[in-house]
């Protein structure tokens, strides 16, 4: 893996801790492929990895650094440039390299409650740049991305990167089920087309040497009806009151009649909350309720019941478009 290269070679960092079939886990990678393919990157199709879904096919699935080679295309001139490297930080990894100023980085993280998932920031702590241009992206479940994008931009800026573009994209919510759909099927064809166009604009910007910082706090949230906001706020306040009176720990549950102990949930869990040989149980101290195990089980042996699913489904069904800033 070659770490020192010239623009517009790039590093892409994924911390997709919301593992859904169409949600943040795979949509992070799907969106990234569109940002840097479809006229922006020519993918090297050699090699492969264990696992399933488009996200896993693109990354080396060894729990450490994953890399696939490709070539960035100048969207304006159509000329090919250097290779890129993908680093998947879904699971714990070693210390990443320092990215030089003549590289470009793309950071993508999931949103938890309007903020960057804490585990994502932990995985990114040691990353360093040297005035390196960076694209900061958040994937959220159609409610709100809050301050996540601005938070990520400030975080990477503190580590030597220069945010030159930002975006927030919708992925199917981790709590989405057939009975309570939340952004079901996102990202869809329209989302991916917009991601491809966004990637083309970023390529043009970098090709012209435009690497000045943006103010990611100016990225505007898509409109949410006031009534939906008020209903959700009222629900959250009531939920907190009930939790104070009668605390309840909500965890994914295992079904012994369905579980085959294949170990898929163990491999998918980003926080090692499920032990091999004890797949029916979840460690409450480690679980971050990402639902990776629920969405990834081919036998439907794991479920997660939360009162948030219904309120989110009822009040945030209206499609929200991707938003970007350059």
51 and 167, same domain (yes or no)? yes
Structural domain range at position 259? 253-305
66-75: pLDDT as tens digits:
232 323 323 2
176 and 263, same domain (yes or no)? no
* 288: CATH: 3.30.70.20
**Mean pLDDT, range 233-262, rounded to an integer:** 94
**Mean pLDDT, range 187-201, rounded to an integer:** 93
Domain membership of residue 248 (yes or no) is: no
**Mean pLDDT, range 69-85, rounded to an integer:** 40
Domain membership of residue 235 (yes or no) is: no
162 and 216, same domain (yes or no)? yes
Lowest mean pLDDT across 61-65, 127-131, 235-239, 260-264? 61-65
Question: At CA 160, angle to CA 17 and CA 96, rounded to 5?
Answer: 50
87-124: pLDDT as tens digits:
778 877 667 778 888 888 999 999 999 999 998 898 88
Domain membership of residue 44 (yes or no) is: yes
212 and 88, same domain (yes or no)? yes
What's the pTM?
A: 0.77
**What pLDDT is recorded for position 134?**
94
171 and 268, same domain (yes or no)? no
**What pLDDT is recorded for position 94?**
65
166 and 284, same domain (yes or no)? no
Comparing 1 with 86, which gets the higher pLDDT? 86
Domain membership of residue 16 (yes or no) is: yes
Residue 156 CB coordination number (10 Å): 24
189 and 292, same domain (yes or no)? no
Domain membership of residue 277 (yes or no) is: yes
Per cent of the chain over pLDDT 90 is 62
Domain membership of residue 227 (yes or no) is: no
Give the C-alpha separation, 242 to 66, whole Å. Answer: 43
* 16: CATH: 3.40.50.360
**Mean pLDDT, range 295-318, rounded to an integer:** 95
**What pLDDT is recorded for position 13?**
54
Give the C-alpha separation, 156 to 109, whole Å. Answer: 12
217 and 262, same domain (yes or no)? no
Secondary structure in 3-state letters for the chain: CCCCCCCCCEEEEECCCCCCCCEHHHHHHHHHHHHCCCCCEEECCCCCCCCCHHHHHHCCCCCCCCCCCEEEECCCCCCECCCCEEEECCCCCCCCCEECCCCEEEEEEEEECCEECHHHHHHHCCCEECCEEEEEEEEECCCCCCCHHHHHHHHHHCCCEEEEEEEEEECECCCCCCCCCCCCCCCCHHHHHHHHHHHHHHHHHHHCCCCCCCCHHHCCCCCCCHHHHHHHHHHHHHHHHHHHHCCCCCCCEECCCCCCCCCHHHHHCCCCCCECCECCCCCCCCCCCCCHHHHHCCCCCEECCCHHHHHHHHHCCCCCCCEEEC
Residue 5 has pLDDT above 70, yes or no: no
Residue 53 has pLDDT above 80, yes or no: no
**Mean pLDDT, range 254-270, rounded to an integer:** 94
Query: Average pLDDT of the chain?
Result: 78
158 and 272, same domain (yes or no)? no
Confidence of residue 126 (pLDDT cuts 50, 70, 90): confident
Domain membership of residue 83 (yes or no) is: yes
127 and 171, same domain (yes or no)? yes
Give the C-alpha separation, 313 to 175, whole Å. Answer: 9
Residue 136 has pLDDT above 50, yes or no: yes
143 and 78, same domain (yes or no)? yes
**What pLDDT is recorded for position 1?**
25
**Mean pLDDT, range 168-182, rounded to an integer:** 95
Lowest mean pLDDT across 58-72, 237-251, 262-276? 58-72
Lowest mean pLDDT across 22-31, 187-196, 210-219, 268-277? 22-31
- Among all chains, which residue has been given the structure tokens 């329209």? 190
131 and 261, same domain (yes or no)? no
**What pLDDT is recorded for position 37?**
42
The bridge status of strand 115-116 relative to strand 85-88 is unpaired
**What pLDDT is recorded for position 240?**
95
**Domain count of the fold of the chain:** 2
Domain membership of residue 198 (yes or no) is: yes
**What pLDDT is recorded for position 74?**
30
**What pLDDT is recorded for position 291?**
93
Specify whether the CB–CB gap between 17 and 90 falls below 8 A.
yes
């Amino acid at each position: 893996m070659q770490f020192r290269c010239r623009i517009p070679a790039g590093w892409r960092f994924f911390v997709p801790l919301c593992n859904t079939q169409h949600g943040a886990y795979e949509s992070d990678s799907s969106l990234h492929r569109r940002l840097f393919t479809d006229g922006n990157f020519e993918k090297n199709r050699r090699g492969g990895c264990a696992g399933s879904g488009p996200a896993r096919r693109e990354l080396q699935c060894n729990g450490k650094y994953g890399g696939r080679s490709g070539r960035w295309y100048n969207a304006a001139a159509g000329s090919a440039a250097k290779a890129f490297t993908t680093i998947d930080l879904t699971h714990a990894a070693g210390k990443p390299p320092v990215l030089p100023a003549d590289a470009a980085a793309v950071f993508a993280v999931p949103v938890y409650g309007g903020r960057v998932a804490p585990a994502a920031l932990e995985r990114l702590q040691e990353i360093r740049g040297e005035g390196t241009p960076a694209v900061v992206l958040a994937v959220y479940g159609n409610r709100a991305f809050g301050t996540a994008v601005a938070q990520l931009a400030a975080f990477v800026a503190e580590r030597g990167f220069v945010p030159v573009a930002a975006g927030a994209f919708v992925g199917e919510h981790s709590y989405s089920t057939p009975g309570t759909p939340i952004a079901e099927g996102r990202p869809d064809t329209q989302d991916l087309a917009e991601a491809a166009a966004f990637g083309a604009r970023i390529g043009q910007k970098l090709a012209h040497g435009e690497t000045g910082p943006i103010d990611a706090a100016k990225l505007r949230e898509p409109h949410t009806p006031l009534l939906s906001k008020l209903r959700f706020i009222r629900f959250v306040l009531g939920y907190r009151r009930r939790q104070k009176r009668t605390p309840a720990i909500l965890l994914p549950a295992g079904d012994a009649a369905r579980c085959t102990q294949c170990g898929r949930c163990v491999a998918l869990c980003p926080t090692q909350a499920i032990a091999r040989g004890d797949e029916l149980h979840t460690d409450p101290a480690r679980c971050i309720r990402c639902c990776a195990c629920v969405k990834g089980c081919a036998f439907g042996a794991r479920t997660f019941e939360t009162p948030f699913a219904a309120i989110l489904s009822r009040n945030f069904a209206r499609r929200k478009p991707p938003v970007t800033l350059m």
